[in-house]
Amino acid sequence: MVKLPLFLLALCGAAHLPTAQSDPLEIAVDLTNTSRRLLHARLSIAVKPGPLTLLYPKWIPGEHSPSGPVENLAGITFQAGDRKLPWRRDEVNMYAFHLEVPPATSRLDVHVDFLATPTTTGFSAGASTAANLCVLSWNTLLLYPEGADPASLQIQPSVKLPLDWRLGSALTTSSIDGNTTRFEPVAMATLIDSPVLAGRFFKEIPLAPEITPRHYLDIAADGPEDLSINSEDLTSFNNLIREAGRLFASHHYGSYHFLLTLSDHVAHFGLEHHASSDDRVDARTYLDDDLRLQAAELLPHEFTHSWNGKYRRPAGLATGNYSTPMRGELLWVYEGLTQYLGDVLAARSGLWTPAQYKAYLADSAATLDARPGRTWRDLSDTAVSAQILYDTPESWDNWRRSVDYYGEGELIWLEVDTTIRRLSAGRKSLDDFCRRFFGIGGDTPARVVPYRLSDIVEALNAVQPHSWNQFLGERISATTPHAPLGGITEGGYRLEYNAEPNDFIRAEDSSRHGQNAWFSLGLRISSEAITDVLIDSPAYKAGLGPGMKLIAINGRSYTDELLRTAMGESKNNSIELITENTGFYKTVKIDYHDGLRYPHLVRSKGTKDLLGDILKPLASTEGPNSGTRAFAGRE
């Protein structure tokens, strides 16, 4: 494999870089104002006299876009001793700051504030603070010399917490002085890859203690009542560590921390890191069965990324710096394979029951199958366009297509798995591919081993010879009206519709206070407003569109329950709606007579239940560290 490319040394900046790792950049972050959504940092940077350009991280690993929130950097000052230095922003690169270091200056003192947005969308640039907690992403407060190599530039980090707060991180604590925690110096790439979760209501739970390396669940919550994790969930989290070790036959970190934020005031997402994951869900997730069901795959997904996305990474995403644009053409592997493996691990560990996994898969597959945008935009283009798709709205999403490489990638990799099992008569599976591809070198420190499509095909052929290049190409580059459902049919199931919502759809409707009428009328509704309309559906033909509010149905004030009743009785009755659109009212009739329709996976008679086999926990016969030995093949 090729090595990671390093930062290209800028001609004017190379002479002004730190000269030794013994003189690291220092960053001291003050979180005592997080309740007011203000973060403060002081940096000390080794410099030499002359022109200097400092950069703010732009392309954040895992976010697949130029999402560094430089617009929220404020209060920037540069000081040499007692002298405040003038600076100017680059006129083209908004992430670059130019200044002149005066003679006899060896260190530059920098002060920056980060205005922590209250917006609950986005990734690390989104809401990350609440009254009693904060998720610190170091990239939001960091400036570094242009031309520096993130793999070797050493940084000495520290964090000052509000009184009575605690923290969790993959970083190693070197000392604690009052409410200030000082960490061991690390390379800049490691620092940006190691967020800190801190809070007043905080606890750390060791997981699978018999496994080496060690794993921890670090939790911060809005209130103490939200910290409750029942014994069944803890058993599943412990099983997740064991099942992942058996699947990947390796670990590529010294320890691992799930940084779990339970809050209604932060952006909700998961972001992968080599030795930790930034996982954010609703405050009552582990107290509410519907929320728990929907969040069950989050931790397995981000944990899987430690192998697929951090250790093994598509070459187009392995830029080695934070300025070079990333290329996302293999995100159907990076995210799609991770989606598949994470969901399988959720079932194998017990976070989902097999029935819940199948309910989720039925909803996802049916949604992708009813996606007219696939007739003009292939899956490959959704991956290439990732940097412009993450912030797109839900409205008309079925015609635009968005980050479909997650769910559709999962369908493709399910079909890869069932194909291997069929061709090998059950002797091989995608599990063998995972051990071969992600277990390279056995247990290793964190490092990046890039891959290309040819490496994927080669590893698949080593497990089970087949025309994999053609197989994958046909599914990635095709503009077809239907989703690739071959993995479901080969797995022994078929997609069918009936009048009962499956468990996953029922849970989603409950938590979003809405109604999924996607597979009948072609509507998604949340809080009595239309969020999306399916192109060419009965609702579309009736003139409905996203953003319209539902006022009445069949002469009565609108409720979701009345809509369900109307759909159920639609074979003999029409459906009449009164809608409001930017202050104007309109009565529409929907020509629909097929009743309630929800997707389910149904067993196909006379077929082998390969999907059932896939979801079974991997048997362990090798002792407590089963699965940590790598496949002894070549890269």
Query: Per residue in 410-434, pLDDT tens?
Result: 999 999 999 999 999 999 999 999 9
Res 118 pLDDT > 60? yes
Q: Could you read off the pLDDT of 139-182 as tens digits, one per residue?
A: 999 999 999 999 999 999 999 999 999 999 999 999 999 999 99
* DSSP-assigned letter for residue 372: G
Query: For tokens 């990324």, what's the residue?
Result: 305
Q: Residues 443, 214: contact at Cβ < 8 Å?
A: no
Backbone angles phi, psi at 379, to 5 degrees: -60, -35
Q: Which amino acid is at 514?
A: G
Q: Do the domains 503-590 and 323-492+605-614 match in fold? A: no
- Report the C-alpha gap between 302 and 57 in whole angstroms: 22
Show the 3-state SS of 154-170: EEEEEEECCCCCEEEEC
- Report the C-alpha gap between 359 and 146 in whole angstroms: 50
Res 378 pLDDT > 70? yes
Task: Give the residue-averaged pLDDT of 59-67.
Answer: 96
- Report the C-alpha gap between 61 and 59 in whole angstroms: 6
Residue 72: per-residue pLDDT: 96
- Residue 349 corresponds to which tokens in the numbers above? 């560990």
The percent of residues above 90 in pLDDT, for the chain, comes to: 90
Res 190 pLDDT > 80? yes
- Report the C-alpha gap between 615 and 239 in whole angstroms: 13
Q: Which CATH architecture has domain 1-55+70-116+138-194?
A: Sandwich (2.60)
CA dihedral 278, 283, 288, 291 (to 10 degrees): -50
- The residues near 209 (Cβ < 8 Å, ≥ 6 apart) are none
Domain residue extents for the chain: 1-55+70-116+138-194, 323-492+605-614, 503-590
- Report the C-alpha gap between 548 and 578 in whole angstroms: 10
Task: Give the residue-averaged pLDDT of 128-133.
Answer: 97
Q: Which CATH architecture has domain 503-590?
A: Roll (2.30)
| Interior/surface letters 296-310, b for 16+ CB within 10 angstroms, e for the rest | bbbbbbbbbbbbbbb
Residue 14: per-residue pLDDT: 33
Is the previous residue joined to 213 through a cis bond, with omega within 30 degrees of 0? yes
CATH H-level, domain 323-492+605-614: superfamily: Neutral Protease Domain 2 (1.10.390.10)
Residue 129: per-residue pLDDT: 97
- Residue 535 corresponds to which tokens in the numbers above? 């192109």
Res 565 pLDDT > 60? yes
- Report the C-alpha gap between 431 and 209 in whole angstroms: 24
- Report the C-alpha gap between 598 and 261 in whole angstroms: 32
Query: For tokens 């680059």, what's the residue?
Result: 90
Residue 547: per-residue pLDDT: 97
Q: Residues 31, 39: contact at Cβ < 8 Å?
A: yes
Residue 441: per-residue pLDDT: 82
Res 65 pLDDT > 70? yes
Res 227 pLDDT > 60? yes
Provide the pairing of β-strand 129-130 with 276-281.
unpaired
